[in-house]
Amino acid sequence: MPEIAAVAADGRKVSLRFAAQEHAERLARTRASLRSRGLAALLVFAQESHYWLTGFDTSGYVFFQVGVITADERPTVLLTRRPDLAQARDASLYDDIRIWLNAEDADPAQDLRDILIELGLQGERVGIEYATYGLTAANHRRVEENLAGLVTLEDASDIVRFMRLVKSPAELVYVREAGRLADLAVTAMIGATAAGNLDCMTTAAGVSAMLAAGGEMPATGPLVNSGPRAIYGRGIGGPRMLESDDQIMIELAASYYRYHVCTEETISVGPPSHRQRALFALATEAMDQVLDHARAGRALGELDDIHRRVLDRGGLAKERFAACGYAIGCTFRPTWMDVPPMIYSGNPLIMRPGMVFFVHIMVPDSVAGVAAGLGRSFVITEGAAENLSAIPPELHLC
């Protein structure tokens, strides 16, 4: 298992997923970015940022949890709750771990104010990560109320977010393993699908396969939409019995040390209709062209231009989605999508080696009640994109 022993600045022995030197380089780049924007510090609320910068891995971000990273070499500070203390101490490189305790009058934003004063940040411009599930609107209001007049807050959600887009060689090791786990899940799900079974048995087979092979629960569960639900763009609760002439749309992510790889597959229970075959042919054509075009130096939005062109030519301009995918990588609940960026027409982001994206060509026909979809994750390289799935693009028959 990839557990790397390291020593924190205060002498603690810690267990990390990446070498301490890689974390140090990430922190140095973040501090350089802060200085270039005239920011004295960054308030880290995104759990992905905590993990990427220091190795800190928790679900405690659903409460109030913040890291303080200064633009200079002052110690990094984490403010969190008591249940997160042990793993912050044993598996992160935060220099100083502060705890706030639940109480009727508890106000961790006031504790944050005290930390900023202690660090001498009065009157400074301070970046903050607003665009994250780790900072609710209620907590945002508490932060602004407590820091009013002390510092000037500036949205800096993009600093760590966009540095994380290009994966290091060590990160790509985890990404490729997640791709292997996703393939195992799909294979198991196809094998568990049959008329007379509940569609949740298909879900269970995929989750079991991922976990048995060394994966973990992904940031959200697999989407397994059967029958008339196959045209839905989101999962929906409640099991459904599969019939002898049925369909399943699968979209899932496998996770390995929080790094996700997504895939999308179509399963036909019984002989597929002519319409479903035609839809899947369009999805395959679009995917082939997308993978061929996904190369360093090109604009990300061009991938959606291909998606639109192929599906519109097939008469699906009113059925197709307005975006065809997104960045993926290290994410925490509630989503495996590592956004921004989304893949939509006009997105000017230039693809670079080490970026990882998921493209799914979802082709629903709401009139016929039939759907076909195909999704693949891939790594941008110096040449052709590296497809992270070894499963052939085909309409799976059960």
Q: What is the pLDDT of residue 10?
A: 84
The CA distance from 17 to 4, in Å, is 6
11 pLDDT band, cuts 50/70/90, is: confident
* Same domain as 21, residue 75: yes
Tokens 């935060």 sit at which residue? 94
Task: Report pLDDT for 112.
Answer: 98
The stretch 25-54 carries a mean pLDDT of: 98
* Cα 229 from chain centre: 24
pLDDT beyond 90 at 191: yes
- What is the maximum span of the chain, computed from C-alpha positions, in angstroms? 70
pTM of the model: 0.96
pLDDT at res. 148: 97
Residue 258 pLDDT level (bands cut at 50, 70, 90): very high
Count CA atoms closer than 13 A to 344's CA, side-chain side.
7
Residues 152 and 217 in one domain: no
200 confidence band (pLDDT: 50, 70, 90)? very high
Same domain for 129 and 267: no
| pLDDT tens per residue across span 87-140 | 999 999 999 999 999 999 999 999 999 999 999 999 999 999 999 999 999 999
Is the same domain home to 153 and 45?
A: yes
Q: Are residues 174 and 142 in the same domain?
A: no
Is residue 27 pLDDT above 90, yes or no?
Answer: yes
Q: To which residue do tokens 């790889």 refer? A: 261
Beta-sheet pairing, 41-44 with 66-70 = antiparallel
Enumerate the H helices of the chain as residue ranges. Answer: 20-36, 47-54, 85-90, 108-118, 137-147, 158-163, 169-192, 199-212, 274-293, 301-313
Same domain for 158 and 242? Answer: no
CATH of the domain at 122: 3.40.350.10
Under 8 Å between Cβ of 334 and 235: no
Which segment of 10-14, 161-165, 226-230, 382-386 scores lowest on mean pLDDT?
10-14
> How many separate domains does the chain show?
2
Structure confidence at residue 1 (pLDDT):
53
33 and 137 part of one domain = yes
Confidence grade of residue 186 (pLDDT, cut at 50, 70, 90) = very high
Q: What's the chain's average pLDDT?
A: 96
What is the percent of the chain with per-residue pLDDT over 90, rounded to a whole number? 96
Residues 64-102 have pLDDT tens digits of: 999 999 999 999 999 999 999 999 999 999 999 999 999
| Same domain? 127 vs 209 | no
328-351 average pLDDT score: 97
Domain carrying residue 98: 4-163
Residues 182 and 296 in one domain: yes
Q: pLDDT, tens digit, for every residue of 218-239? A: 999 999 999 999 999 888 999 9
- 263-289 tens-digit pLDDT: 999 999 999 999 999 999 999 999 999
Q: Which of 163, 195, 211 is the last residue of a domain?
A: 163
156 and 190 in a single domain? The answer is no
Residue with tokens 């997308």: 290
**Tokens representing 34?**
């802060």
Pair (25, 114) in one structural domain: yes
Are 59 and 177 in a shared domain? Answer: no
Interval 384-394 mean pLDDT: 97
Distance CA 330, CA 336 (A): 8
The CATH number linked to 242 is 3.90.230.10
Residue 2 has pLDDT above 80, yes or no: no
pLDDT at 209 over 70: yes
Instruction: Out of 136, 163, 190, pick the residue that ends a domain.
Output: 163
What is the Cβ-side half-sphere exposure of residue 287, based on CA atoms within 13 angstroms? 28
What average pLDDT does the segment 366-375 reach? Answer: 94
Cβ count near 215 (within 10 Å): 21
